[in-house]
Structure 1
């Protein structure tokens, strides 16, 4: 869930430019969206606030028994949890909320109403003709910034069952500057960078199907005078193709495509400090200052 400065302007951006589908609004002023191919009622939520940034990031678990089990593991690990009742968020079941060592709020849930993707579950067509904008397949991952990413990594691995996929080392060759972790067959489901301020968001990423769609997204951004940070280009880390850009409130977003499939027997990939530029932006082999410093 993202905070935005102007709700009407943001709704227009996320529907007309991003091509998300609005699925509801609640009494607290939150606006709910999904991508065209997601089946759950919502994957992305915005609310009006005085500052931009990330309220929370959530992961869906298998069922309520898994939710209970993971909450027990979090408590055994020394993490304080909070139960948010079903219905507090539209079409969403009970949630378990907790804070990471970097002060980011994470939620786990098992139930969300299946509203379908408009194609049905019997003899569906290949795609819907009424899509617009960039039109991503799904909300894919986020990158968070904060101080103690080592403690974050330990919690994700030892409690929630995530696996380290890639990492970037600092100049000392030992300390992690950044880590990428997965809980699925994707190259990453969450990533984190060491940063002095806690609770910061670098970007939320949306998945596209092809490099051609990434290029088309760049055209749509240009047509709509969207502020582009960098791209289209390729990552060394995950090998995905990418554009980074900003919503009207200054929250950084990404359109992402590709990347490899992850298998549990794979070993983590390490990028050394002297090649960090190629790790993040494979073509330019260097970082730009705005990418390193602008967070919400």
Structure 2
């Protein structure tokens, strides 16, 4: 590179200034060890490389063994969350004091992970709390067989990842009621419905399905479709999930004429032509000619 073969001279410095190549001037100062000038140039004219300049200066100081001086420069380069723990790892006590003073959630989480790996679970939990890492708190409490404390955190914070983790732990332990509760808090309604189906908890399945996504509603609808006397719930869920063909088909088979009237109001030209004709026939038989004409009009668009 050009700068590697140009020795530091006032002429070279003047040339780069006159060309307004402050990026090259910055590199020129760095290569010559003129860090004060490099940082000044970056601050005033080459701010796009300011963080990189601070980082390079911090690396320079670290290589010289000046770790304490390197720290503020790593901070200015915004790389301190990784570089300072790496640099200070051999001096754990000093590193701990640094992390305590920083009040930085990323550093608190890093320190908590270190403490956890050292089997100091009590201290790890304190730093996970400072980092507001509720998932890790719940994970550690579950590992320590303190499910009640984990549940308290989930109920208090509503953290979805933490609730999901706890729900899985309860499911593995066979505590279905608790698992369903925390799957619901995690908005993992499909999991909650799956467990409720195993327990044949009909009312709970309906409540969960109405909170969930269309696929959750369809899963619940399949459950109700297979249970005698629950076809009305299945029709309603298929309808709400947007599966009009299935809702209509089941409504006809189970003779739910009130549901037919409700569903037909949401039909358009995308509906199955045969089902449209069935609905129209139903309305004709029951003297509701206007509705029959509307449906047949839709059917005509499909044919065209």
What TM-score results when the alignment is normalised by the length of structure 2? 0.18
Q: Which has the higher strand share?
A: 1
TM-score using structure 1 length: 0.19
Q: Taking CA–CA contacts closer than 8 Å with sequence separation of 6 or more, which of the two structures ends up with the larger relative contact order? A: 1
Please identify which structure carries the higher helix content: 2
